[in-house]
Amino acid sequence: MQILHDCSKELNKLNLKATPARLAVLRLLENSREPIDVSSIIRFLKKNKVKADPATVFRIVNLLTQKGVLKQVRFNEDKFRYEYGLKNEHHHLICQSCGEIEDMSDCPIDSLKKEIHKKKKFIIKTHSLEFFGICKNCQS
């Protein structure tokens, strides 16, 4: 697993103790190509022999989401997924056939946000945009 930076320093800046479970969750999500649900996080921790019961994992993702380190997303499912919240703003392409999730960062949303602010005097703090369809592999 590639480590992009020192996660313990990131947790310390937030006045959070750098426990093995918090570090493992943060590193997993930082290195993940797509948002991950809690059950997948739990399986990852068990596989890597990091001790954390399911309630602890839920507390970790909730706390890190509140602190802005993780971002919670929902893709028309009965569950939330989490991704590293400090990535560049992006959107998601979700294949309705195979479930593949791809990040899409080249979206002209900034001009739309400016237009909304200009016309409606509404300040957008955050947004979520997902596209559902069929990926190129499933179209064959």
Per-residue pLDDT of the chain (140 residues; tens, 9 = 90+): 444 567 777 788 888 888 999 999 999 998 888 889 999 999 999 999 999 999 999 999 999 999 888 988 888 788 898 988 766 677 778 888 888 878 777 777 778 888 898 999 998 877 777 888 999 999 98
Residues 41, 47, 49: CA angle, nearest 5 degrees: 100
pLDDT in the model for residue 3 = 44
pLDDT in the model for residue 86 = 65
Q: Three-state SS for 28?
A: helix
> Against a cut of 0.85, is the pTM above it?
no
Reading across the β-sheet that carries 91-95, which strands appear in turn?
A: 101-104, 91-95, 130-133
Structural domains of the chain, ranges and CATH numbers in brackets: 7-84 (1.10.10.10), 91-133 (3.30.1490.190)
